[in-house]
Structure 1
Amino acid sequence: MTEQSTPVGVVLIGIFFVLFGLSSLYGGFRLVLMPSWAGGLGPLIGIALLAAAAIELSFGIGSLLARPWAWILGILILVFCILIQSVILISWIRADLLNDPGEFSLFSPDVYFWPVFMIILTAAVLYYFYQPHVRGYFSGLNKE
């Protein structure tokens, strides 16, 4: 049995999540130490950011090390991201409809671009995670 190579996409996603986790870790520690920020919510937001950093770092490192649990964690993170971006998009559309229904445009690029872009990007990564060579990488099977 030949040694399985790591898919390039998994490496890129793993590195991205490690870097994102490190930046969340830094931001979380900074906010924990800022009790007066956001009306006193700095420490609470900081703790939430530290929890997110732990999840991001776990997934990033786990995906680089081909841990089977990292695939499941990645799927959960991606589905959660799609749900959050969908809620953001729907709330923005709702706010536009309620504030000025005459000026509403679903294709307003300045407002709706990022949530739509993130939903599409996250869905593409989710699709990638279900590819046989990626699932094989995480399960330890050689699909080549």
Structure 2
Amino acid sequence: MSVLNHQIVWSRDAETSARFLADMLAFEPPVKLGHFVMVQVSPDITFDFMSTDRDIMAQHYAFPVGEAEFDAIFARVREHGLEHWADPKHQEPGTINHLDDGRGVYFNDPSGHELEIITRPYGSGGLEAQHVNPLLTEELSASGKLPDLS
């Protein structure tokens, strides 16, 4: 089975962006390898930051975290005075979401990539959750059945 090994993340300043990710999410310090500045984001996956002057298409990276990790990361978001949102469209500023009875928040890195931390995978609470993910109810009304998220 193939597994993702690395993701190149284009940045205005690779070292600044890599350090930001490592500091915010409490990963090991970045490692420089040639023109890459690498952050180990899981045992098998690195984000390899690379500086560029070209236009950067902002990407979205979501990280599952535990409750205590969420508290620590969200505290750093607030300490840095970072804008944050409860939703990917940035329509709910300054707050977090509680979808699937977990917590989630979005914030941007120095190059404009959107980072997200979540304590429960979206859709995992099903229709029994106190805070049902609205995507589930949209899918249910469109198809008449819930998607299999297992």
TM category (shorter chain) comes to under 0.3
Query: Which one has the bigger helix percentage?
Result: 1
- The TM-score normalised by the length of structure 2 is 0.24
Higher strand residue share: 2
TM-score for both structures, normalised by structure 1 = 0.25
